[in-house]
Amino acid sequence: MPDHLHVLCEGLDEGSDFVRFVHAFKQRSGYEFKRPGGARLWQRSFFDRHLRADEDVVSTARYIFSNPVRARLVACPEDYPYLGSATMSVRDVLQSIG
């Protein structure tokens, strides 16, 4: 999305720290973005939402993957160049509607 980012992530052990993860991500990506042009990339804060045990991860991924279509940036999610997942195929998530 041109003006925001959706990330669906899971801490894999007891030592996982979401706030630390976001801070490190914003610091590293912001530094790389700022180097050539000097512009700031991120706002100071962020909005997070924790999934409850009864919430479906696939439904949440489907919402995220469909976001560029709702914003009329592309006709189908697969066409959005900045969409990806290390664990879920966009096609599989979108076909899992049922």
* Distance between CA atoms of residues 58 and 79, nearest Å: 20
Q: Is the pTM of this model over 0.75?
A: no
- How crowded is the C-beta side of 33, counted as CA atoms within 13 Å? 10
Break the chain into its structural domains and give their ranges: 15-48, 52-98
- pLDDT tens track, the chain, 98 positions: 778 888 888 888 999 999 999 999 999 999 998 988 788 888 888 888 888 887 888 888 888 888 999 999 999 988 998 887 777 777 777 776 54
Q: Which two tokens stand for residue 94?
A: 């979108």
Q: Where are the alpha helices (DSSP H) in 40-96?
A: 57-70, 90-95
